[in-house]
Amino acid sequence: MHDWGVIRAQGEDAAKFLHGQLSNDFEKLPSGQARLAAYCTAQGRMLASVVGGKHAADEVWLACSADVLPATLKRLSMFVLRAKARLSDASTELAVLGWVGDSARARLGDAFPAAAWQKCTVEAAEVIRLPDAAGQARLLWIGPAASTPDLLQGLPALPEAHWQWLEVMSGVARVNAATSGQFVPQMLNYELVGGVDFKKGCYPGQEIVARSQYLGKLKRRSFLVHGEVPLQSGQEVYWSGDEAQPAGMVALASAHPEAGFDAIVELKSAVLSSGSLHLGAPRGPLLQPQPLPYALPAEAAAPA
C-alpha cells in the first residue's frame, strides 16, 4: 500500500526506547501481540500514529502513514542519545499490505490472530489483526518486499480504495500529514481502541493525555459521518448551532463502495445532540452522522 511506510528500530534498547516515546507499552510486548500507539508532542498532540510489534528480541517494526514517516523518524532519532538503538526507514525493504476476510483465514489456518492487536509471524513477515470493519476481518502484513509476489499469487485482489473505506469504517483514524499535530489521542478515541496505556509511565505528552482522561469530561470525540461530496483529511466541519467557527475536522475519509463518501470526523461531542453538520463552511454540504463500530462513554453523544 503506497500510503504506508515502516520504521525499523534495532538494538538491545530498541523496545525500551520506543516505550519511552509512544503512548503504549512496547517494552513488555509479548511476541504474539502488536500495538497501536500515538507519537505526541510535549503538548499531547499526535504527530503520528503507529501500528507495530517486535520482530525479534532486539528489533521492532512500526508501520505508519508514509507522508509523516520522514518527520517522525527524524524527531524520534533526536532522542535516542545514549540508548543502544538504531532507527531507520525500512520502507524500501519492507512492504505493507492489507489482507481481508476468508483468504487470510485460509492461508494462515490456526495461526490466524484471534482478536485485534494480536499478531503472528509467517516466515519473515509479521501479520497483525486490526479491528474488524463492516463485518470483515482485517490484517496488516508487514514483510520483505521481495516476498509480496508469492503472497499475492492466487489471492483475490482487493481495490485499494475498498481497503481505505474499511479503514474508515473501523473507526480508527490513522494520522497523516494533513492531521499531524491536530489531535490529542482521546479526540480520535485511541484510548477506546487500544492505543493508550495509562499505566506505562512517561512519554512525550503523557501528562496532557492523562489529564485529559482523568480531569473532567472529554469534550471532543471522533464519529463516523456520510456525505455526498468528496471528503479529505484536514477539512473543517461546521455545526449549524454555531456558524462562527469550525466544530471539528475530518480525520480520515474514503469513497463509499456504492455511493457517496464516509469519514471519521473529530467533533465537539455536544454538537450531535441538535442541528446539522456541514463540510467546509457553515452552509456547506450536509454530513449525516453514522454509528461507530464500538461504544463511546456515556457522556459522548454518539448517534444511534
State the span(s) of the chain assigned CATH 3.30.1360.120: 1-172
Q: What mean pLDDT do residues 179-191 have?
A: 97
Within the chain, which residue ranges are assigned CATH 2.40.30.160? 186-290
The correct CATH number of 186-290 out of 2.40.30.160, 3.30.70.260, 3.40.50.300, 1.10.1040.10 is 2.40.30.160
- Is residue 303 pLDDT above 60, yes or no? no
Whether 6 and 97 have beta carbons less than 8 Å apart is answered as no
Q: What is the pLDDT of residue 301?
A: 52
Mean pLDDT of 139-162: 87
**Model confidence at 216: pLDDT above 80:** no
Taking the mean position of all CA atoms in its chain, how far away is CA 4?
11
Tell whether the model's pLDDT for residue 269 goes beyond 70.
yes
For residue 304, pLDDT beyond 50: no
Residue 199's Cβ-side half-sphere holds a number of Cα atoms within 13 Å equal to 2
- 218-235 confidence digits (pLDDT tens): 889 999 999 999 999 999
Chain centroid to CA 288: 23
Q: What average pLDDT does the segment 270-291 reach? A: 95
The three cell numbers of residue 262 are: 464516509
Q: May I ask the CATH class of domain 1-172?
A: alpha beta
Residue 127 has pLDDT above 50, yes or no: yes
The label of the residue with cell 504527530 reads 47
User: 228 phi and psi, to 5 degrees?
Assistant: -100, -5
As a whole number, the mean pLDDT across the chain is: 93
The phi and psi torsions of 9 (rounded to 5 degrees) equal -115, 125
The mean pLDDT value for 10-27 works out to 96
Burial class (CB in 10 A: 0-12, 13-18, 19+), 55: buried
Alpha carbons within 13 A on the beta-carbon side of 294: 19
Q: How far is CA 248 from CA 75, 231, 245, 270, in A?
A: 27, 13, 9, 11
CA-CA-CA-CA dihedral for 4, 18, 60, 180, to nearest 10: 0
